[in-house]
Structure 1
Amino acid sequence: MLGEPAAASACDRARLETLEREILAIADHERQCLGQELHDGLCQSLAGIAALTAVLARNLAVNAEPGPAAAAAEIVRLLNQTIGEARDLAHGLWPTGLNGAGLVDALDSLARNVSRGQGAFCALVEDGSTFRLHPETTAHLVRIAQEAVRNAITHGRASEIEIRLACIDGSGSLSIRDNGIGLPEQNGDDGIGLHTMSYRARAIGGSLEVAAQPGRGVVVTCVFSLPPSDEPSEGAENVRGPS
């Protein structure tokens, strides 16, 4: 019958969308579990070791052993630095900003963590619009930003990254722009990251575009629908960076 191919095609698309959502749900669950294990397991163990080493450093200082005391104090410093890096990693796997906070705060937290611990300056620029989004939509947008930032640093070797959030013509727009070396030749890992970002964009009814910038660098843009109640607020553009 004439209608059968079209119906089969629609069923195939529905099955594909369901499969994509299941893949993203599994990936996010694993990220959350790993982040929780890092925070509650490794970080707590390191904090205990740091506390014991601090006691050792004080005892050595009291016993007039300045050399060993200084070495123990340096170990405490390095442990505390490692704890901070592990916590940043745990928050990156499942950002605290996803636990009830809004999209702007979650992206601001991402930008600050990148600037603090990943060797690149990252800032959030937002136009003051209010985004009342479903938590799932917020989570997918933050994941898109994370993946784009990771690609910019790892593959693009970027030193400056801008995360921009705005309301344009009644739709939300999230863009991540970097000053790196441009679009690399895709390998298996790159392809997975780009496909995952596209899955997430489609999951929230949006679209994703990845393009090279004139000169150098890459811009990743996700355009997404806003709930009918959302209206862009008037106000000056806000730039958020590390304090």
Structure 2
Amino acid sequence: MSLRSQINLLVAAMTAIFLVALLAMHIEATRNSVRVEVVAGNRVATQLFANLVPDDGVNGSGFLQFLSRLGHVRATTIRLHDRSGATVYVSPPDQRKPGAEPPRWYAVLVAPEAMHRSFQTPEGILEIDSDPASAIRDGWDDAVHMFQFGAVIFVLGNVLVFWLVRRATQPFARIARGLDEVQQGAWRTRLPGYWRAEAGTIARAFNRMTKTIEDNLNARQEAIEAKLRLERNRELADTVRARIEDERRAIARELHDETGQSVTAIKSLALALVRRAESDATTRDTAQLIADTSGKLYAAMHEMIPRLRPLTLDSLGLADALREAVGEWRRQHAAIEIALDVGELPEVGDTATVAVYRIVQEAVTNALRHAGAKRIDIVLTARDDALHVSVADDGIGLPPDWQQAGHYGLRGIVERAQVLGGAARIERREPRGTSIDVNIPLHR
């Protein structure tokens, strides 16, 4: 049931209760009025005839003439019976409102207790009985007028109340429709302004709510779209890295197998030419220059191959590739102590293997080039279904702006970890140095 119907029913019920209470009060007042009138009329008639009957001067015909002249007495019926019991006189009824008889239920409710008096006269027996019919008719007339007035007030009052309630609750129907629309996902729904305080307050709160929801949904949608773009960018970056690693692998293999053998052959031929051209100094010096240049080219090529793609990473695995890289770093930087602690590692995919190797390579390279460290500790363990990498040094620590553009090495470490679903934490050590901790899940 709607609020409007409930209010209308409540007002109608209260009005009906008021009218019923008014009727009850009227009945009670009419009952008291009829009782007073009946008692007064009976008392007057009783006192009159009580004083009249003992008068011996009143004979039978004179007494009857007196009764006839007396006529109707209010709220009283007078009867005279002769000595044989026959009724010789009955007071006439009230003729003021003939036919206006009240309903029986009303007469029963307002009628007082019957009163009876009788006197012995020389002519017979005089009886005086209470007769509230006239007073009851008067009360009923008043009740009818009151009912008519109450009905008019009831109808007009309820029509007015129904109209006012309809006018006052009309905004709530629009508010209810707005709530239904919001429930169905129409977050752009707005309510108009209402001049009534309650409806206006609800409308303003509703509009603030829908705007907040819409803003939150838009922000969430933008966040989802940004996340999707980030995922696509990461996938693209991952694909690019994979292609780069494939190219590096191919180039490293080509340098090792083809170019390396060619350079070795050139050096061998040059040395053979040196031995054969002992008598020709110019040819011997040229051949020696070719042999020396080939040796330098071969050494530079072998230094380049681990940076491109360590061949041991494919043949021996991550642990041995790191050991080989650490050995090379120790050889190149003998003054710096580099410690490697590699625990027992499970089988990991090629992508994770390359990523971990590059993370360690980048972290150590940064420490060697920029930190001025005397010691670098590398720890690689597998626990809690994740691969944990830690590279710590005792150098000068992180620069204040390391998270800004330009520090591609450190940012690359973070991005490589995130692409694999992991996380990287880079922070300063106390009292000095830098620590890089990376966690990469083994199963994605």
TM more than 0.5: yes
Give the Cα–Cα distance (whole angstroms) in 1 for the partners of residues 321 and 244 of structure 2: 20
Residue type matched to 2:388 in 1?
S
Deviations 1:73-120 (A, max 9, x none): x87466435423322322222222442643322322322232344665
- Of 321, 324, 327 in structure 2, the residue corresponding to residue 109 of structure 1 is 324
Please say if 1:50 is aligned against 2:267.
yes
Give the Cα–Cα distance (whole angstroms) in 2 for the partners of residues 90 and 78 of structure 1: 18
Please say if 1:30 is aligned against 2:244.
yes
The structure-2 alpha-carbon separation of the partners of 1:21 and 1:40, relative to structure 1 and needing over 3 Å to count, comes to same
**DSSP-derived class of the 1:92 partner:** helix
The structure with more helix, counted as a fraction of residues? 2
The structure-2 alpha-carbon separation of the partners of 1:197 and 1:6, relative to structure 1 and needing over 3 Å to count, comes to same
Question: Unaligned 5+ residue runs, structure 2?
Answer: 1-186, 188-212
Give the Cα–Cα distance (whole angstroms) in 2 for the partners of residues 81 and 158 of structure 1: 30
The structure-2 alpha-carbon separation of the partners of 1:209 and 1:172, relative to structure 1 and needing over 3 Å to count, comes to same
The structure-2 alpha-carbon separation of the partners of 1:156 and 1:36, relative to structure 1 and needing over 3 Å to count, comes to farther
**DSSP-derived class of the 1:99 partner:** helix
Please say if 1:20 is aligned against 2:234.
yes
Contact 2:387 2:440 in 1 (8 A): yes
**DSSP-derived class of the 2:426 partner:** strand
Contact 2:397 2:432 in 1 (8 A): yes
Residue type matched to 1:59 in 2?
R
Alignment of 1:88-127 (within 5 A): 88-99=303-314, 101-117=316-332, 121-127=337-343
Higher relative contact order (Cα pairs below 8 Å, separated by 6+ residues): 1
Residue type matched to 2:418 in 1?
R
Residue identity over aligned pairs, in percent, reads 24
Give the Cα–Cα distance (whole angstroms) in 1 for the partners of residues 309 and 415 of structure 2: 19
Give the Cα–Cα distance (whole angstroms) in 2 for the partners of residues 94 and 76 of structure 1: 27
- Of 210, 234, 254 in structure 2, the residue corresponding to residue 40 of structure 1 is 254
- Of 385, 392, 398 in structure 2, the residue corresponding to residue 183 of structure 1 is 398
Residue 205 of structure 1 is matched in structure 2 by: 421
1:208 CA displacement: 0.4
Give the Cα–Cα distance (whole angstroms) in 1 for the partners of residues 332 and 432 of structure 2: 24
Question: Unaligned 5+ residue runs, structure 1?
Answer: 229-243
Give the Cα–Cα distance (whole angstroms) in 1 for the partners of residues 380 and 339 of structure 2: 11
Residue type matched to 2:425 in 1?
E
1:201 CA displacement: 0.4
- Of 214, 230, 237 in structure 1, the residue corresponding to residue 430 of structure 2 is 214
Residue 136 of structure 1 is matched in structure 2 by: 351
Residue type matched to 2:234 in 1?
E
The structure-2 alpha-carbon separation of the partners of 1:77 and 1:212, relative to structure 1 and needing over 3 Å to count, comes to farther
Residue 153 of structure 1 is matched in structure 2 by: 368
The structure-2 alpha-carbon separation of the partners of 1:141 and 1:38, relative to structure 1 and needing over 3 Å to count, comes to closer
**DSSP-derived class of the 1:155 partner:** helix
Contact 2:238 2:419 in 1 (8 A): no
- Of 209, 214, 220 in structure 2, the residue corresponding to residue 6 of structure 1 is 220
Deviations 1:133-153 (A, max 9, x none): 122111111111111122112
Give the Cα–Cα distance (whole angstroms) in 1 for the partners of residues 246 and 376 of structure 2: 25
Residue type matched to 1:40 in 2?
E
Q: Which moved more, 1:9-18 or 1:74-83?
A: 74-83
The structure-2 alpha-carbon separation of the partners of 1:100 and 1:8, relative to structure 1 and needing over 3 Å to count, comes to farther
Q: Which moved more, 1:181-190 or 1:14-23?
A: 181-190
Scaled by the length of structure 2, what TM-score is found? 0.43
Deviations 1:136-190 (A, max 9, x none): 1111111111111221122224454332101345532101122333223547442
Scaled by the length of structure 1, what TM-score is found? 0.73
- The alignment covers a number of residue pairs equal to 222
Residue type matched to 2:275 in 1?
R
The structure-2 alpha-carbon separation of the partners of 1:169 and 1:81, relative to structure 1 and needing over 3 Å to count, comes to same
Q: Which moved more, 1:38-47 or 1:136-145?
A: 38-47
1:124 CA displacement: 2.1
1:16 CA displacement: 0.5
Give the Cα–Cα distance (whole angstroms) in 1 for the partners of residues 293 and 443 of structure 2: 47
Deviations 1:5-50 (A, max 9, x none): 3243123113202202312432442354256446635645533432
